Amino acid sequence: MRRRSAVFIFAAALLTAGPSAGRAEDSKPKQPEARYFAVTKATVHTVTGPVIHGPTVLCKDGKIAAIGHDVAIPDDAEVLDAEGFHLYPGLVAVRSSGLVGNEPPEDNTNVYSLSMTLGLAGGVTTAVANDTAAKLSFGTLEDHVVKRNLFAAISYTTRDPNGRRTFRQALEQARRFLRDLQAHEEKKKTDPAAKPPDAASLKGLNQTALKLLRHEVIGVADADTAQELKDLAELAERYDFRLVVRGAREGWVSAAAMARAGLYAVITPRTRRDRDERSNHPNGSSIENARILHEHGVPFAIVPGSTSISTSGLAGRDLWQLAMEAAFAVRGGLPDDAAVRAITIDAARVLGIEHRVGSIEVGKDADFAIVDGDLLHYMTLVRWTVVNGRVAYDKQKDSLLEHIRPGGDRDAPPPPDYWPRRLGEG
């Protein structure tokens, strides 16, 4: 481990030193110096790998550069000693409102808003507003947007049979067009003068359907009932496109079909819906929904019932309680690690940004929720939240929760760096 990291840092040093040592110095604008940040001694929950006790997580320019016990920390690095704390990947909220600005977020986000701070206090580092995933990059707009045009919304409900038929026809037409296109490609090999598929067939073609079939975009649909879920699964399987279903309240009934079709789900474990006794099919919500989906291999993300964050108090089912929402699924039999995955890597996978966020791996974004216990434990509070290699939230420097002592430990001394600073101090 030591050698590897040493080699890495050497290579990094070479990379940064390269241009200045060479002739290119005058022609190229001076590269800003690399920004190093390191978290030491924390228990690191990598999520996609093992739990590592007490390594150094070194970040360079907002990305994780090295993880290991003998990683050399550059002199100019900002070091966060997190002994006794647990480091998780920053949580991913696949639905949110108010944490980051409306489209486009880089023009609308209030980077000092209370909602953002509260989200960070809940461990959230990436949130989706409308159709864009953005970081809760407190105080800066650098690397704010993660991905735009996340989804293509489709409507396929039992309440609108006409709409269903139209959409099916659109998919069919798109598929035919793609087949013709492929046939044409084949033909072209032998006959260079072959005609391309009729332009008329392109006319009125549903672009969303075409993009779905070409796997250029992930579809998203709201569906809660077993029937709708089955229908969507069948559609996705038949036409082979990626689809995320939001809601999936009765996913425990249709889990097999959903798994077969490779559907993703966004669920809210605390959803309650009584069984409709008039139906002799299994229906209604189930506390075991998450477990059953997990056992069938349906990847899912968890969101709370309210996707905003309350600025008037901390009680309820909003994004500040994202980890608690996941913990509720554990009560229904979901394994702990799967619950953590549902708010980190699997949530990132639902959004198609798993290469950037969701786990602690070299090369990924340095987004951490550093907490004072097991993430799913009700006594756990976030101590620091790191976004893009910057401390975006520090419980003891922000007045929000600075005075909170879980479990009535009122004797704990207040931190020395109490905020706010007053005139005449320091």
Partner 1 sequence: MRLSAPFRLRSCRTLMASAAWLGAMWLGIASPGTAWPGTASVAGAAEEEVEEETFVVIKAGRVIPLCGPELPRGEIVLVNGKIRLVGNDLDYPKTARVIDARGEVVMPGMILPRTRWQLANYSRSGVHGDRSVEQELYLDQIDFEPMLAAGFTGACFYPAGTGIPGVAAVYRTAGQQQHRELGKAYVRITMTSPGRDKKVLRGAIDKAKKEIEKVEKARKEWEEKQKKAKEEEAKKEEAKKESDEKEKQDSEKNTGPGADPGAEQDPPEKKEQDDKNKAEPKQPEKFTPPKIDPAVQPLVDWIRDKKGPALLFELTQASDLVHLDDVLKQASELPATGFYLSASYSSDYDRVVEDLGRRKAVVLLSPRIGRLPYTVVRYNLPGELAAAGCTVVLLPLADGDSQYQDLRTQLADLVRAGLSRDDALKAVTLHAARVLGIDDRLGTVEKGKQADLVFLDGDPLAPATEVTRVMSVGEIVWEASKQP
d(CA 246, CA 156): 12
d(CA 244, CA 212): 12
- Taking CB under 8 A as the binding criterion, the range among 1-9, 104-112, 204-212, 288-296 that sits at the site for partner 1 is 104-112
Phi and psi angles of residue 277, each rounded to the nearest 5 degrees, phi first? -70, -15
**Closer residue to partner 1, CB minimum distance, 67 or 319:** 319
**Closer residue to partner 1, CB minimum distance, 20 or 110:** 110
**Closer residue to partner 1, CB minimum distance, 55 or 119:** 119
Q: Are 97 and 115 in contact (CB under 8 A)?
A: no
Interface residues for partner 1 in 246-285 (CB under 8 A)? Answer: none
- At what angle are helices 251-261 and 289-296 packed, to 10 degrees? 20
Both tokens of 242, joined, read 């990626």
Binding-site string for partner 1 from residue 345 to residue 384, where x marks contact by CB under 8 A and - marks none: ----------------------------------------
Binding-site string for partner 1 from residue 84 to residue 103, where x marks contact by CB under 8 A and - marks none: -----------------xx-
d(CA 125, CA 143): 12
**Closer residue to partner 1, CB minimum distance, 204 or 313:** 313
d(CA 68, CA 40): 10
CA 327 from chain centre, in angstroms, equals 17
The yes or no reply on residue 169 touching partner 1 (CB under 8 A) is no
Interface residues for partner 1 in 106-125 (CB under 8 A)? Answer: 106-114
d(CA 409, CA 411): 6
CB of 141 to partner 1, least distance (A): 5
d(CA 225, CA 52): 41
**Closer residue to partner 1, CB minimum distance, 155 or 399:** 399
CB of 403 to partner 1, least distance (A): 12
CB of 286 to partner 1, least distance (A): 39
Look up residue 331 and give its amino acid.
R
The yes or no reply on residue 404 touching partner 1 (CB under 8 A) is no
The yes or no reply on residue 399 touching partner 1 (CB under 8 A) is yes
d(CA 232, CA 244): 10
The yes or no reply on residue 207 touching partner 1 (CB under 8 A) is no
Q: Give the strands of the sheet with 36-40, arranged side by side.
A: 63-68, 56-60, 36-40, 78-81
Q: How many residues bind partner 1 (CB under 8 A)?
A: 19
d(CA 112, CA 110): 5
Instruction: Identify the CA nearest to 98 among candidates 119, 74, 122.
Output: 119
CB of 382 to partner 1, least distance (A): 18
**Closer residue to partner 1, CB minimum distance, 101 or 251:** 101
**Closer residue to partner 1, CB minimum distance, 73 or 141:** 141
Contacting positions for partner 1 (CB under 8 A):
101-102, 106-114, 139-141, 311, 399, 420, 423-424
